[in-house]
Chain A
Amino acid sequence: DTAVSQTPKYLVTQMGNDKSIKCEQNLGHDTMYWYKQDSKKFLKIMFSYNNKELIINETVPNRFSPKSPDKAHLNLHINSLELGDSAVYFCASSHEGGNQPQHFGDGTRLSIL
């Protein structure tokens, strides 16, 4: 009965490859997010979707393409992976509106060789 689940938990791949990370939430939330956490633990939002529509895109390279097939899913596809993409990627979800707490997945640790 995991609330926000991400797969895979670990992803090790070569530079130049294309990879996807999947996220699903069973909380009935309308809004989903992707955050990137770097090696110094700094967290920054990448994207946000509300009811399958993109509402936040924080100057992320267009190699990163989120896709939301329905309200419960937000996947992240990354093309032509670079060394600087190595990080932990967190999916989160919340109800629509201000002051709503966000529920986070356990993260996907992406390592580029």
Chain B
Amino acid sequence: GNSVTQMEGPVTLSEEAFLTINCTYTATGYPSLFWYVQYPGEGLQLLLKATKADDKGSNKGFEATYRKETTSFHLEKGSVQVSDSAVYFCALQLGTSYGKLTFGQGTILTVHP
């Protein structure tokens, strides 16, 4: 079956630190990959996406590269801010799945001043 595995959290960083959140996937086809972010008390928002191998998604200083050879889509940011504190979800979607997103378990990020 299809699944997404994210690194265990929570992750606690100081402001301006480098962030990596690991994400690997298993899929029966060629998925599109997404990172969603959930701020406290809110719904999920799309952060970035990549639809084919070697694509790089980027937004708000966050980046992730679709690596087919390692089935990974790790999220990175060079310098985090307190406002980046949120829950981050990696997800995959297959073209045949009628839009169904399969999510990882989420990683809680807390950034301290």
Contact = CB atoms under 8 A, between A and B. Distances in A.
Interface in B46-75: 46, 49, 51
Q: Interface size bucket, B side?
A: 20 to 34
Contacts, number: 68
A48 B102 CA distance: 13
B95 A43 contact: no
Contacts of B51: 99
Interface stretch (A11-19, A61-69, A71-79, A101-109): A101-109
A45 interface: yes
Nearest to B87: A41
Contact of A101 (B49, B97, B98, B105): B49
B43 interface: yes
A56 B49 CA distance: 23
B46 A102 contact: yes
